[in-house]
């Protein structure tokens, strides 16, 4: 079924699960990521060039299956794109077991088109880690908006307006009485907003919160927050509270991405600390692959610049060889059926299958010293041979 809405994080995770569990067939899977920020002009040339090159690299029925998928993609791009979409990821396969899954996002994606036996999911995983979801409270003296932001798109908006306060200064109230009453009404209004916010974040499992508006108002709300919500705060955003929704979301996205990067850097620091103290961590391609294959990894950390050489998968016993050159035979079972694979893609597929968290870290000197990849572990290395292993 085609997705005709901008993607939310819970649906993205479900689709990633579908993609990693997709059974292989003789027909290749086309993974097509496109940047829509400049419309068709931003991706058309890349799409045409990749189609021509992939047709030249394939033969026989695989070419016909590929043409069928490209035809479906072309039809989708012409008729199904949503006006607010800035990125789209389309996965398709022809043949006896056809598959077609288009996903639209309000955040950009790179132009990246690959044909392989399995879907290419790294860019979805990176998008999920970078943008994820958070809550924004935009407040003024008179009203508050609570926004749920999923992958750059507002998926829920709750309004709360303060009841009208009649000015009864004169015979009935002194000015001081009026000001005190106004302050009490404002405090009560903020308490009601915080109650709604607390219920929303608790029910939906949000881990990040941004306060936006006049600094005096955001400061009052912050001071009234319970401790468990204070721990989820990102730096407040100064606004009038009356800006266009799209402008507010764009500004909060920048703050959220910066916070995410800080948290990613903290995970890289934790990896280094555990390695230095002989703790539950491994680093490097071979050790990380082994930890993932054993189900030992709790978190996979990938440097944004991590780009390992391809590896080789034995089609008989499942061993992965990380050497640069294709082995003549499998070192474990002796068979000759070896297929080239993307090591990074295989890592993220293993992580998703074993419910291992994935953290993509930008500009990490720590990770790059370890070869660009490492894992925080659930338990120590088992002193037994795994069913599958990584070989060099």
List 146's β-bridge partners, or say none.
137, 158
Ordered by where they begin, the domains of the chain are 9-120 (3.30.960.10), 131-261 (3.30.420.60), 280-391 (3.30.1330.30)
Please tell me the predicted confidence (pLDDT) of residue 163. 54
* Residue-by-residue DSSP string for 203-219: HHT---EEEEE-HHHHH
pLDDT above 80 for 347: yes
What predicted TM-score, i.e. pTM, was given to this entire model?
0.84
pLDDT above 90 for 371: yes
Which tens digits make up the pLDDT trace of 173-193?
455 544 454 566 777 888 888
Q: How far apart are CA 196 and CA 143, in angstroms?
A: 14
Which tens digits make up the pLDDT trace of 5-17?
567 888 999 999 9
Q: How far apart are CA 251 and CA 274, in angstroms?
A: 36
* Cross-sheet strand order for the sheet of 133-139: 153-161, 143-150, 133-139, 209-213, 237-238
Which tens digits make up the pLDDT trace of 129-171?
988 889 999 988 778 889 999 888 888 888 776 555 444 444 4
């Amino acid at each position: 079924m085609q997705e005709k809405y901008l993607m939310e994080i819970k649906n993205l995770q479900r689709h990633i699960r579908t993609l990693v569990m997709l059974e292989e067939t003789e027909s290749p899977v086309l993974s097509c990521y496109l940047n829509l920020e400049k419309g068709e002009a931003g991706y058309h040339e890349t799409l045409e060039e990749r189609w021509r090159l992939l047709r030249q690299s394939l033969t026989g029925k695989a070419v016909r299956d590929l043409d069928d998928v490209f035809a479906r993609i072309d039809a989708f791009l012409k008729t199904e794109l949503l006006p607010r979409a800035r990125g789209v990821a389309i996965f398709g396969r022809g043949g006896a077991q056809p598959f077609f899954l288009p996903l639209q996002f309000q955040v950009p994606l790179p132009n990246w088109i690959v044909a392989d036996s399995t879907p290419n999911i790294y860019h979805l995983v990176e998008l999920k880690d970078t943008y994820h979801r958070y809550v924004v409270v935009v407040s003024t003296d008179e009203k508050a908006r609570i926004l749920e932001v999923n992958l750059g798109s507002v998926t829920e908006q709750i309004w709360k307006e303060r009841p009208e306060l009649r000015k009864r200064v004169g015979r009935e109230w002194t000015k001081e009485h009026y000001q005190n009453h106004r302050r009490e009404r404002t405090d009560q209004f903020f308490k009601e907003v915080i109650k709604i916010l607390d219920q929303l974040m608790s029910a939906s499992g949000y881990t990040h919160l941004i306060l936006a508006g006049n600094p005096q108002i955001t400061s009052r709300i912050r001071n009234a927050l319970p401790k468990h919500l204070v721990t989820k705060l990102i730096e407040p955003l100064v606004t009038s509270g009356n800006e266009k929704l799209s402008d507010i979301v764009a500004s909060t996205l920048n703050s959220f991405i910066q916070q995410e990067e800080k948290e990613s850097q903290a995970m890289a620091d934790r990896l280094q600390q555990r390695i230095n103290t002989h703790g539950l961590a491994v680093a490097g391609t071979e050790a990380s692959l082994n930890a993932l294959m054993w189900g030992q990894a709790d978190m996979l950390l990938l440097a944004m610049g991590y780009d390992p050489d391809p590896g080789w998968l034995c089609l008989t016993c499942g061993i992965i060889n990380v050497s640069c050159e294709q082995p003549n035979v499998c070192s474990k079972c002796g068979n000759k059926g070896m297929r080239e694979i993307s090591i990074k893609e295989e890592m993220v597929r293993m992580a998703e299958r074993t419910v291992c968290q994935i953290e993509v870290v930008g500009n990490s000197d720590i990770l790059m010293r370890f070869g660009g990849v490492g894992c925080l572990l659930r338990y120590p290395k088992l002193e037994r041979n795994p069913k599958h292993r990584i070989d060099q």
